Structure 1
Amino acid sequence: MSTKLRSIIIDDERPARLMMSRLAGNYPDVLEIIAEASNAIEAIELIDNLKPDLIFLDVHMPDLNGFDMLTRLRHKPLVIFTTAFEQYAIRAFQENTLDYLVKPIEDSRFMKSIEKIKRWNNSNMQVDFLKLKEIFDQMQPKKEATALPVKVKDKILLVRFPDLVYLESQLGYVTLYTDNGTEYLSELSLSDLEEKLPANFIRVQKSFIINKDKIGEISKHFNNRLIITMTDKKQSRITTGTTYIQQIRAELDL
């Protein structure tokens, strides 16, 4: 690697590219900006053709995020991320890259990055792009499921949570009861299904989980228990278990 780092700026926002170019221009003995890219697809072509020593990479871009882009590169440059991530999140992959700059980038922070570049200029540092992507994916908010998959003959059907009234465990299977009276069998245990259900589903006894939004009526039963009438076509009546009564009362504000 030469003393002066041939560099590419990658950011979908033109003002951000101009700012980075201005900052880099203060260090002509260290950096040479050879190109700019406004999207990941353009950047991949530039990087593989020009083979820069270093790229300044915005993590969030509309067509392809920075981490996905890195995994598609044939040429593997050093990377300095420019990002709006919070500091605590950045620390998760701090050791796997050359440096990171949190927007808005201050001159003093950029200067520290340049000092780090100078120290590592002659090193043989390798960037594990797949590891970076893995860490990035773990930091993203998980998308919540909206349905339970159930096998019906040779097909997989999705039973939407709003259509579920209650679930009952019996004889090694769990039956899913829906608004319209359709029943589905699941081979998963009630505990496994409970982990997949949203917060409006509550366990009311060892063998039953109900949808709070589908409760029609609640009446008292002996031993401090309750009888819950659901809103399905059969108006199913489910008796609560003594083990769960305190949790049920708390969930239902009783």
Structure 2
Amino acid sequence: MSNPVTALIADDEAPMRDLLRARLHTVWPELQIVAEAANGVQAVELGSQHKPDIAFLDIRMPGLSGIEAARQLYTHSHIVFATAYDQYALDAFQQGALDYLLKPVSADRLATTCARLRTRLETRHGANREPEAPEIGQQLARLTALLENKGQAKPKTGYLRWIQAQVGASLRMVSTREVLFFQADDKYTRVQTATSEFLIRKTLKELLDELDPDEFWRIHRSTLVRVDAIAEVSRDVRGRQMLRLKNFDGEQLEVSRNHSYLFQQM
């Protein structure tokens, strides 16, 4: 293709946008990211302005959902949805012209998606996209109905919102919004907030199953961190990725090699 392929990224979580941008640069270096949006309204505005060939849309965004944004963008952009819900994605996207990515996005899955997008773009290069529009419109309508029937927020309401921590003879209720990180410590798990530290008996595996994957990432076999608490990623003298957290004067957190893909730009 003579003209460069362009793309829009829309996600209300900046680390997710950063991760997808880095992954795209790796698997498709020629792809030009012409705009990034932090919500559905921005996605529609920037998509209408730039008319990118591809729009990568988070499903759950403020203002407009990714589904609602897609209904205004699909006539001029190939749509790829991002979701944290595996079964939800399989139900919604097994058939049809739309594609999806599970978050956090893996390089292998993204490479498959990009290869499919290249094929579609080459097939339709110079052709009118209208013949595909009814099919996509119908799938978006089915997806909207699925969300209305199951409830878009239903998966999120099932996530853990409070941690019960024993403090002496008292039970302390700690909101997960206060938690900066969880760290395995022998038979207990350390719960760290900006001002306090607690020990609970839940394992990291249990917490992984109960916490929102958009809010907490596993960065080490012994550590879960709140994504929006990350202030900076750097490397120490041994080359390890280390996280510094906002409003926290304690230790930095190590990112293991197995999880370094989360910060691949480093």
Q: Greater Rg, structure 1 or structure 2? A: 1
The higher-RCO structure (CA 8 Å, 6+ apart) is: 2
* TM-score for both structures, normalised by structure 1: 0.50
